[in-house]
Amino acid sequence: MLSGRRLDLIDPSPLDVEIADIAHGLARVARWNGQTKGPEIFSVAQHSLLVEALFAAAAGYSPAGSRLVALLHDAPEYVIGDMISPFKAAVGGDYKLVEARLMRTILIRFGLPAEPSEDLERRIKVADRQSAYLEATALAGFSIAEARKLFGEPDLRIRDFAAFLEPRRPADVEAQFLARFGELDAEVSAAL
């Protein structure tokens, strides 16, 4: 990693996880295999910021720790990349094991429960699917009917999240991701 850390993908240690590495990597990993509109890629970091915003909006009030888990929901992709869902399904077991092991390590590193509750995971998945619908229709060329069929239609005002759907320069997204992480992490620390 750019931080100088060496992360063992088979046996990762929380001591080798740095938020700067996560932000840097996620800001440079393209969603939708880069097949999106705009002059820049739409990155996993942007997707993560959108998911956290959707999660927070749906939850009304949600503890900062839950919002931090939502922000970090795809954090393992900073080292393993973002595979499209059909390919993840085809690869199956080993990929999912590596991804889950990395996720637990990341959550532990930032003082979050290694195994989020089923309810929290379900609520994050809802926000993730809402994000996929918005991204698919705004950026990836899906028709509304196709996106509805694959992701369901979110019950929200799309214009409220339009600013999150603008592909941006990786350095700007990295800074925004770090700032949002810092805000949430400070809230978590203040609550302890």
User: What's the rounded Cα separation, in Å, for the pair 189 and 150?
Assistant: 38
Q: What is the mean pLDDT of residues 5-27?
A: 95
Reference 150, options 171, 123, 131; nearest CA is: 131
Q: Across the chain, which distance is largest between two alpha carbons, in Å?
A: 46
Q: Does 3.40.50.920 match the CATH number of domain 14-187?
A: no
Q: What local confidence, expressed as pLDDT, does residue 37 receive?
A: 95
pTM of the predicted protein model? 0.94
Reference 182, options 125, 110, 107; nearest CA is: 110
Q: How is the chain split into domains, by residue range? A: 14-187
Q: Which helix (H) or strand (E) holds 70?
A: helix 64-71
User: What's the rounded Cα separation, in Å, for the pair 11 and 31?
Assistant: 26
Q: Is 50 helix (H, G, I), strand (E, B) or coil?
A: helix
User: What's the rounded Cα separation, in Å, for the pair 24 and 124?
Assistant: 22
Q: What is the mean pLDDT of residues 116-133?
A: 96
Q: How confident is the model at residue 108 (pLDDT cuts 50, 70, 90)?
A: very high
Q: What local confidence, expressed as pLDDT, does residue 61 receive?
A: 73
End-to-end CA distance of the chain: 30
